[in-house]
Amino acid sequence: MGNEDSYVALALKVWKAQIDRADKLFGSLSSEEVQHEIAPGRNRLLYLWGHLTAVHDAMLPLLGLGERLHPDFDVVFVSNPDKSHAAIPSHEQVRQAWNAVNGELSKGFEKLSWSDWLQRHSAVSAEDFAKDASRNRFAILLSRTNHLSYHLGQAVLGLK
């Protein structure tokens, strides 16, 4: 394994570890438990789970891995705060979307070579990328892993 491979493999390992933690945490909740708030008046666990699903779904086109599976999640879980919509996707819909989106990402990651990770992501133009080469796929992977950790730290507070 060359050096470049090592960095990518490590970052993917950390991503996978956080996904596994989230799978365990959210996957074990009952339909009553996903309605728990992480703190009084704060987001519910279902909202956090849907939010993470929406943000991961957006990684598919951002990393050039395909079309989004659930663009409809954005209005409920990204553009608006929790409890602002009367109807949000059900527990089962969020669970299925979470699994589908992360499965699709995982398949896409397998097809990327280490040098693909240093190519620009789709939200930056070729012109801007020429000025700042740090706006690449690897940066997205690192920042989304940290985004997941950030909300995992909150989600554990909603357990029990």
Instruction: Pick one of 123, 130, 157, 159: the residue that binds a copy of itself (CB under 8 A).
Output: 157
Instruction: Pick one of 42, 83, 85, 107: the residue that binds a copy of itself (CB under 8 A).
Output: 42
Name every residue whose Cβ is closer than 8 Å to that of residue 132 and which is 6 or more positions away in sequence: 124
Task: Tell me: does residue 118 bind a copy of itself (CB under 8 A).
Answer: yes
List beta partners, residue 148: none
d(CA 96, CA 49): 11
Instruction: Pick one of 4, 23, 72, 132: the residue that binds a copy of itself (CB under 8 A).
Output: 4
Interface of this chain with a copy of itself, residues 58 to 97, rule: CB under 8 A = none
Do residues 117 and 8 make contact, with C-beta atoms less than 8 angstroms apart?
yes
Name every residue whose Cβ is closer than 8 Å to that of residue 147 and which is 6 or more positions away in sequence: 52, 55
Task: Tell me: does residue 145 bind a copy of itself (CB under 8 A).
Answer: yes
Least Å distance between CB 87 and a copy of itself? 27
Instruction: Pick one of 28, 39, 87, 131: the residue that binds a copy of itself (CB under 8 A).
Output: 39
